[in-house]
């Protein structure tokens, strides 16, 4: 299949304002292309789709296709997932973060990678970014990367700040650089915000705050507004897929890039949920021919927007990203408590600075917490059990002076042993 990244880049600017009929017609044509291409050229799909009627007469026909999970893809050799028509000299290898196990490795073409970078460029331009801005990335210390032309353009004045340094040192480095754009995971930026608030300092000249890599929650937004005077944007992506969504420039909900992706939001039985309801999301990458991902289950739980009448764009909107479907705490009676709801409840406990739940193999729960010295352990423990509704679990507590983030910089609220 031919792919012209530059034509796609230009067409994508006006596409969010097309009527739904035109968007659906375009997505159906791309769906027909990618399904046919995957079956004819990719060993994994040739076997998976064997005996299935692949006629796609409407977008609803996608439900005839089985769901694809990262777990089953990780069991395959990369050659089984790659198109037999792909030119090996034009391929790049990408990998997921591997937060749910070993990383998923896929290959994409150089053209597909260029389109990913152009999509990021379009997102940044929409929010007023210009190439001469100084940009700080809160990141792990990583080896120097080779950038494409568009990556070099976006990162022309890029400065990395190591998140494993003491917070004060990070702040001093950022203040010395005086960036217009600050990039990082919400957890990393939250730590900067806390320090600035506590020391009554600010970052002069900061124009834009861009988050990604983990879910941005309500308490993040509150702190960002207080420390930076802005709520922060959010980009929603995955290494194996690229950027699937971004903060809408009009309504600030998460806007899905429907020129590049067909998104389904479904319940546990894979039946589509209604507007305003929560479900797990499946993505079909419409421009990814080297390693097609069709009805790919990311593991993310999202809530659909209740209505899009408030927005100028016609793209699908997500009201919120609510975490991952593995982030649930099973109770003895079969019910499940979602980590996002538990964390929201925990943040209302007076004096609690940080908390982490560790679900052990024997079914017991270890609650690690950091609390103000003035608050007694017994008070915290009673409130945690009551507020978070943990009465039915065998709960043990451990008071900590530090609860480290993951090596990637993410804060993991619920962990499994």
Same fold for the pair 1-241 and 328-416? no
Distance, CA of 375 to CA of 345 (rounded, Å): 18
Q: Residue 366 pLDDT > 80, yes or no?
A: yes
Q: What percent of the chain has pLDDT over 70?
A: 86
List, for residues 263-300, the tens digit of each pLDDT value.
999 998 999 999 888 899 999 999 999 999 999 998 88
Tell me which fold the domain 328-416 belongs to: GMP Synthetase; Chain A, domain 3 (3.30.300)
List, for residues 142-179, the tens digit of each pLDDT value.
444 555 665 666 666 788 898 878 899 999 999 999 99
Phi/psi for 350 (5° steps) reads -65, 130
Q: Identify the weakest region by mean pLDDT among 56-70, 100-114, 158-172.
A: 100-114
Environment class of 2 (CB within 10 Å of its CB; exposed 0-12, middle 13-18, buried 19+): exposed
pLDDT at site 143: 45
Tell me the average pLDDT across 400-412: 74
Taken as a whole, the chain contains a residue count of: 417
Question: Within its chain, how far is the Cα of 241 from the centroid?
Answer: 11
Domain boundaries, the chain: 1-241, 328-416
- Beta-bridge partners for 337: 329
Contacts of 63 (CB under 8 A, 6+ apart): 270
- By the 8 A CB rule, do 232 and 220 touch? yes
CATH superfamily of 1-241: ANL, N-terminal domain (3.40.50.12780)
43 is written with which tokens? 């060993």
């Amino acid at each position: 299949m031919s792919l012209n990244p530059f034509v796609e880049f230009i067409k994508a600017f006006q596409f969010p304002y097309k009527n739904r009929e035109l968007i659906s017609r375009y997505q159906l044509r791309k769906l027909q292309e990618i399904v046919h291409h995957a079956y004819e050229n990719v060993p994994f799909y040739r076997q998976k789709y064997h005996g299935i009627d692949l006629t796609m007469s409407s977008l609803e026909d996608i439900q005839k296709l089985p769901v694809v999970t990262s777990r089953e893809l990780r069991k395959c050799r990369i050659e089984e997932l790659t198109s037999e028509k792909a030119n090996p000299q034009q391929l790049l290898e990408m990998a997921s973060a591997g937060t749910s196990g070993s990383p998923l490795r896929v290959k994409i073409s150089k053209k597909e990678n260029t389109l990913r970078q152009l999509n990021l460029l379009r997102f940044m331009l929409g929010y007023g970014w210009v190439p001469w801005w100084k940009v700080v990335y809160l990141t792990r210390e990583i080896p120097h990367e080779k950038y494409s032309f568009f990556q070099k353009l976006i990162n022309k004045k890029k400065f990395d700040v190591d998140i494993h340094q003491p917070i004060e040192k990070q702040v001093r480095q950022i203040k010395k650089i005086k960036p217009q754009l600050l990039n990082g995971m919400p957890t990393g930026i939250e730590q900067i915000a806390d320090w600035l608030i506590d020391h009554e300092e600010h970052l002069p000249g900061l124009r834009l705050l861009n988050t990604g890599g983990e879910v941005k929650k309500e308490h993040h937004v509150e702190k960002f507004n207080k420390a930076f005077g802005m709520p922060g944007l959010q980009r929603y992506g995955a290494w194996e897929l690229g950027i699937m969504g971004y903060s809408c420039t009009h309504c600030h909900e998460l806007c899905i890039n429907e020129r590049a992706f067909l998104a389904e939001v479904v319940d546990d039985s894979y039946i589509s949920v209604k507007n305003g309801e929560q479900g797990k999301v499946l993505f079909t990458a419409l421009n990814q021919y080297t390693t097609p991902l069709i009805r790919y289950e990311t593991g993310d739980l999202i809530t659909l927007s209740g209505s899009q009448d408030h927005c100028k764009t016609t793209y699908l909107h997500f009201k919120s990203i609510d975490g991952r479907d593995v982030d649930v705490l099973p109770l003895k009676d079969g019910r499940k408590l979602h980590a996002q709801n538990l964390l929201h409840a925990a943040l209302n406990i007076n004096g609690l600075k940080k908390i982490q739940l560790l679900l052990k193999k024997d079914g017991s729960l270890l609650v690690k917490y950091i609390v103000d010295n003035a608050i007694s352990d017994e008070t915290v423990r009673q409130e945690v059990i009551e507020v978070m509704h943990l009465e039915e679990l065998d709960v043990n507590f451990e008071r900590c002076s530090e609860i480290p983030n993951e090596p990637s910089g993410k804060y993991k609220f619920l962990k499994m042993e």
